[in-house]
Amino acid sequence: MRPNHHQFVAFAYVVREGSFSAAAARLGVTQSTVTQHVANLEQGVGAQLLLRGRDGVEVTPTGRELYDLADRLVAVDRALAERLEGFASMRAGRLKVIANAPQPALRIIAAFTARFPEIRIEFGLHDWTTATGMIRSRMADVGLITEAPEHDDWERLCLESTRYVLYCRADSPLAGAGPLRLADLGGQTMILPEPGSLTERLVSARLRAEGLRFARQVTMTTFPVMCEAVLQGVGVAIFLQNSSLIRDGLAQVELVDFAGPQQTWLVATRDRARLRLIAEFTACALAAGA
């Protein structure tokens, strides 16, 4: 039997939501209905698309190829629904937003939720490699990504330019030292984001080019944790300027090695960028002065 529209949609939601039960809740149907749709799709395709496990589902190579097309079908469905409803309602819906730094993402989300309080936002903070990969694999609706690469299937909007700085305690001798070079920090304990982050990649490349190394290096997962570590005296950190509202007790010092601006982009696939939810989110990003 030839696969039908409902089977593709059910499959796309299972992949996005990570489980059959979550997909059923999103679609407003029973879990058995979703399970049957996916099973029939696998039978029609002649290959297994999902591997079921205790921790959710894993997409097979064939499933990954099919998911791209299935998710595009979901985007078309949503666009048609918006047309039929006359764009009259923003009283329901969900938007999955990802970023590789807290700001300006949280500032934009605050502006959006103030305007559309009934829209559910799911926000995830990821390293640069993971964030770009999630947009590329269509596992998120919108990405707010530093130095987002160009892609034929993406719409990109530059939101702001910033630069890398050194974060240290306000009472540190480094706080008033003026512009610094990485060569000046050899004796410091350096706090960096986890491997896969843009910061870690750029700093590591610069160290290799200069033949430098830090006396000690500590890896942490998120910028707020890095800030807390600096305040607790663990060491100093390199991150984008004004990446958080955590300011008390911290100083930001210019780094000569990273004088060039780093641009933050709002990114979405072209078909999703035309959806009203994402268009309104983009408008809030511009209005928020990001």
Q: Which domains are delineated in the chain?
A: 5-84 (1.10.10.10), 94-161+263-287 (3.40.190.10), 164-260 (3.40.190.10)
Mind listing the pLDDT tens digit for each residue in 195-221? 888 888 888 888 898 888 888 989 988
Mean pLDDT over 90-109 rounds to: 86
Q: Is the per-residue pLDDT at 87 higher than 50?
A: no
So what's the pLDDT on residue 195? 82
Pick from 3-7, 120-124, 156-160, 243-247: least confident: 243-247
Pairwise CA distance, residues 119 & 156, whole Å: 23
Q: Is the per-residue pLDDT at 155 higher than 90?
A: yes
Query: Do the beta carbons of residue 169 and residue 175 sit within 8 Å?
Result: yes
So what's the pLDDT on residue 159? 93
For 202, other C-beta atoms within 10 Å of its C-beta total 17
Mean pLDDT over 126-130 rounds to: 90
So what's the pLDDT on residue 122? 92
For 80-231, strand residue ranges (E) read 94-99, 120-125, 142-146, 154-162, 164-169, 189-193, 216-220
Pick from 53-67, 94-108, 115-129, 156-170: least confident: 53-67
Pairwise CA distance, residues 47 & 59, whole Å: 12
Query: Do the beta carbons of residue 17 and residue 23 sit within 8 Å?
Result: yes
Pairwise CA distance, residues 143 & 134, whole Å: 8
Q: Is the per-residue pLDDT at 3 higher than 80?
A: no
At residue 1 the predicted structure's pLDDT band, cuts being 50, 70 and 90, is: low
Over pLDDT 90: what percentage of the chain?
33
So what's the pLDDT on residue 90? 56
Q: Residue type at 283?
A: A
Q: Is the per-residue pLDDT at 272 higher than 60?
A: yes
Pairwise CA distance, residues 10 & 156, whole Å: 29
Pick from 8-22, 63-77, 237-251: least confident: 237-251
Pairwise CA distance, residues 246 & 230, whole Å: 11
Q: Is the per-residue pLDDT at 191 higher than 80?
A: yes
So what's the pLDDT on residue 289? 66
What is the overall mean pLDDT for the chain?
87
Query: Do the beta carbons of residue 239 and residue 226 sit within 8 Å?
Result: yes
